[in-house]
Amino acid sequence: MPRTSLTALPAFALRPPHRHPTRHALLMVGAAVTLALAACGSPTSLPAGHGKGVDAAGRDTGPSTAVTGAPPASLIASPTATSSASAAAPAAPAAIATPIAVPSADITAPRALPADQSSYAGRADAAQLADELARQHELPLPWTRDVIAQARYREVIGRLIMPAANPGAKNWAAYRSRFVEPQRLRSGQRFWQLHAADLQRAEARYGVPAHIVAGVIGVETLYGRDTGRFRVLDALTTLSLDFPKGRSDRSAFFRQELGEFLLMCREQGLEPTQVLGSFAGAIGWPQFMPSSIRRHGVDFDGDGHIDLINSPTDAIGSVANFLAAHGWQAQWPTHFQVQPPGRGPQLDALLAPDIRPTFTANQMQELGAQLPASAMNHPGPLAMVLLHNAGKAPTIIAGTRNFYAITRYNQSSYYALAVIELGEAISRAAARGNP
């Protein structure tokens, strides 16, 4: 998962694109290279988005290993989109948009490829992969073979997917400063102004507060500015067939995502060679992997299509739907302040489950933690979450199931707290009426 994010202009344009049922090429105008956050911990999946990231030391790194997916490269184009705040909400958002067209299977004449690219057209393993995907996902075999033959091996993707060679000491303060910073706050306030009605509608429908949704999109792509410029077909095929040595092999995951991507393209009438995203295959404003788009993407603007590339409204609904599906509880806080016990077996016991909520408030108290009254009255389990500060005193909080739900987007406590604090800062500025 986790992307993607930093740089100067607002992450959105003010005019919507002309949207047409067969808009294959239009969906990709203005995409920029992605950056997804590097997870802190031991992620096991990529639930939403990911791409070039920031490690727990607060530095640019290779990929996030968890959404989602999922921030930033230094290219500047952004999708053209605007809010549909005045549009009436559909009766029930569809999980998958109604199929609108079958992409053409025609193959254009091959062109000379750059030095860092090579075609998969002549490779036996690529033909075998196409046959497997067609069989597994009930795709037309000739179409699937033609699409995979148009994929290109990208050597740079193999480099970017690797973890940082020298990750450095984990540092929450440095990590936070990459996301809760003036440029992102300005863009976030503008995003909030343009899409306030959609954010409120998503909160009413899914129970996820507006500031959490705004925080996710801001951390992932700087409000649509850095959504990625790699062809998703190239990224997923490269990572399916040429996953680099030197780290745990995730090629099976990317093969599954490649199949989901092909299904998504047929369902939504997209030309597979034209869809852009991160180097790990995450797509659009929220940097969803294809499987997350098919499972959790919603047509929140009611135009009949799920479009996370050009529609910030669809992105807002989809992020809220994703978090709700991963256990978000309406009206619950994300975390509480906590005074942990001193070093010893009690603290070790509290930290052992990591970010997974495991203890009742009373159990935490019995193990020596001091919690505020609001936490003592909290009905759900809590986790003792520790974030390092590069040798200084760590930041420690008591995370709820809602904090854990954010880590399903990117399996990192640093990521989750950055989302929360960015969203809260934007919400406070909006309440003050700051421009």
Q: pLDDT by residue (tens digit) across 58-70?
A: 654 433 433 433 3
User: Percent of the chain beyond pLDDT 70?
Assistant: 73
pLDDT at 423 exceeding the cut of 50: yes
* Mean pLDDT across 253-265: 98
Q: For residue 1, how many other CB atoms are within 10 A of its CB?
A: 36
pLDDT score for 168? 80
**How high is the pLDDT of residue 165?**
77
The pLDDT of 248-255, averaged and rounded, is 96
Which positions are annotated as active-site residues? Answer: 220
**Per-residue pLDDT tens digits for 81-104:** 333 333 333 333 333 333 333 444
Q: What is the pLDDT of residue 116?
A: 61
pLDDT of residue 96: 36
| Interstrand relation of 383-389 and 230-231 (parallel, antiparallel or unpaired) | unpaired
* Confidence (pLDDT) at 88: 37
The per-residue pLDDT of the chain, averaged, comes to 81
Residues 302-353: tens digit of each pLDDT: 999 999 999 999 999 999 999 999 999 999 999 999 999 999 999 999 999 9
Q: pLDDT tens for residues 299-316?
A: 999 999 999 999 999 999
What tokens appear for 370 in the block?
A: 């001091």
